[in-house]
Amino acid sequence: MGLFKIIPTQKNKEKSQATASEDQPDVVSTVIGDYGRWQLLMTFLLAMFSFPCTFHIYLPTFTAKSTTFWCRLPDSLAGLPIQDWINYSQPVDACYVRELPDGITAEGILNHTAPVLDTYQKCQQWDFDRSEIGDTIISEWNLVCDRSGLTNLAEVVFLIGVGIGGVVGGWISDKFGRKRILMGMMICQCTLAIASLLVGSYIQYVIVRLIMGLVSVSVVYAAFVLSVELVGGNWVTIAGVCNFFPLPLAYVIVSLLSLLLPNWRDLQLAVSLPGCLLLLLWIVLPESPRWLISRGRIQEAKEIIVKAAKFNKREVPDDMDKLMILSKPDTEVEQPSVLMLFQGALLKRTFCLFLAWFSMTIAYYGLLLNIGNFNLGNLHVTSIILAVVEIPAIAMSIPILLKAGRRIPIFISMLACGLACVASELFSISFDDDWIMIACLMVGKFAIGATNMMMPIFTAELYPTLIRNLGVGASQVAAGFALICIPYLWELTLLNEHLPMVTIAALSAVGGGIVLLLPDTTTISDNKKTNFDNSAPCNGTFTITDRGH
């Protein structure tokens, strides 16, 4: 188990030289240890970057929540109860309003003596039910009736940005470093968050959301990859999982803030400010020493390793320079390329991971971002319940990953999510009880929440260091396609009211089955190496060695 060390092997390199390269020590773990005070501090700080990113992903649950609306009551009928106004003027829907005869009064409508005309006109102004949710982007820009599709458009472009950012951010991170892309994208995210408060039109809002999606996913996965590259052994799994503990906490925070700040702009400001404070961590966070070594920047890596060793109160070995020289790549460092993901043994892995990520994303975000569509009591309460259930799912995934490998736990959790979704639909037919539905959703959310923790770790371990961040980011292309479908998932109710949940269940089960086609990283560790054929990129092969259990 653990992250892989990658050694380019030239075609003309002798077998004895290749074998020697495979036995090179992991200087990072040798000097600073697999885990210590320094890694604890760094991984904790890196986990904080998940908060602002999750805030912006989850915001539309409240800022774009559909509520009851009606054509605005004319000033001449002030005092008329809203329901009486709706019954009189909008018998079909709120998109068209009955023409009002001259001299009509509120009293006439109340005592049913007002004349009723059979002619209608298109409504131009609406009022919204703000009993549960305050001002939203829907109420501000009247995204109803023939403009209702624009609500989904805003999230579609955001999620397109997520898909693009997964690849672009991963490539830049592999090429220029984890820390640079992390802090650079964090600056962009803070700037965009503040800019979204100043937008005056819906088009401006959509543009901001597009770029926000691109930078947010880059921040999340740069922080994740940096976290797991600072530790060794079993701590790789633990650090990777702990990096996602802020997710359910962020869902709870947004839900509570929405209660206190019902206006969407106020809520946007509240979740944007904490991210700005993270920029101060530039002077504290290191670059990944393993990435520096893989790029041949030995002196920079040595400085970080020595500081970390002192912080961990470990003695720097006398043969430190020798260890660093042994860690230096024997050949010219290759440039990461997207083509590397589709050559040799990586082709099958990339294809299967694309399908698995698509299925998992549909299941996870289909349940997370459509909480309002379930209409199960109070939105805030339901949101908090389904968020809290993820916390034990994350905690339990640590011992499961350490003891049971990767493939089987992911398969079981995705299958359990599918069964829970099917059960929720069956119970909804037989029982008229919201809490039974919520209980089924809790089981499904628990299961897919565990998958959401395990999949990134599994993905990172299946790719070598040189293209690890690119591989993890590329998986977000499939996730991005799935996310684009999420806003339209509940449109399937036009065909059948149970179809959205059945779709989630089917994809979850299929995705779990696809994971079984991938090698378990514990198996790779047991075999000690996996050779990719000589047609692989970089004019040679990648030899992957594990840092140990």
Half-sphere exposure of 196 (CA within 13 A, CB side): 31
Q: What is the pLDDT of residue 350?
A: 85
Per the structure block, which two tokens stand in for 351?
């294809």
Specify whether the CB–CB gap between 503 and 492 falls below 8 A. Answer: yes
pLDDT of residue 335: 65
Q: What is the pTM of this model?
A: 0.77
Position 453: which residue type?
A: M
The Cα 275–Cα 191 span in angstroms is 10
Cα gap 30→233, rounded to integer Å: 11
| Residue indicated by tokens 């940096």 | 226
Dig out the tokens for 330 from the structure.
């024997």
pLDDT of residue 48: 92
Give me the tens of pLDDT residue by residue for the chain, a chain 549 residues long: 333 222 233 333 333 333 334 445 578 888 888 889 999 999 999 999 989 888 988 888 888 888 888 999 888 888 888 888 888 888 888 898 988 888 788 888 888 888 888 888 899 889 998 887 888 899 899 999 888 888 888 888 887 887 777 677 767 777 888 888 899 989 998 888 888 888 888 999 999 888 888 888 888 878 888 888 899 888 887 887 888 888 899 999 999 999 899 899 999 888 888 888 899 999 899 999 988 888 888 888 888 998 999 999 888 887 777 777 776 665 555 566 677 777 777 888 888 898 999 999 999 888 887 776 666 667 888 888 888 888 888 888 888 888 877 888 999 999 999 999 888 888 878 777 777 888 888 888 889 988 888 887 788 788 876 777 677 767 777 887 887 888 788 788 888 888 888 899 999 999 999 998 888 775 444 444 333 333 333 322 222 223 333
**Nearest C-alpha neighbor of 215 from the set 53, 58, 357, 395:** 53
Question: H or E element: which one contains 5?
Answer: strand 4-10
- Secondary structure string (H, E, C) spanning 414-430: HHHHHHHHHHHHHHHHH
How far apart, in whole angstroms, are the C-alpha atoms of residue 50 and residue 56? Answer: 10
| DSSP-derived secondary structure letter, 264 | H
Dist CA 410 CA 513 (whole Å): 9
Calculate the alpha carbon distances from 84 to 90, 125, 171 in Å. 10, 18, 59
| DSSP 8-state symbol, 441 | H
User: Residue 245 is encoded by which pair of tokens?
Assistant: 């503990």
Burial class (CB in 10 A: 0-12, 13-18, 19+), 461: buried
Tokens 């349940």 belong to which residue?
367
Cβ contacts of 15 within 8 Å, gap of 6 or more: none
Q: What's the CA gap between 224 and 87, in Å, rounded?
A: 54
Q: Please name the helix (run of DSSP H) or strand (run of DSSP E) that holds residue 128, with its range, or none.
A: strand 126-128
Cβ proximity of 152 and 203 under 8 Å? no
Residue type, position 360, single letter: M
Nearest to 379 by CA among 489, 255, 250: 255
Cβ neighbours of residue 285 under 8 Å, at least 6 residues apart? Answer: 42, 45, 46, 179, 182, 183, 226
Question: What's the rounded Cα separation, in Å, for the pair 155 and 228?
Answer: 30
Cα–Cα distance between 318 and 345 in angstroms, integer? 39
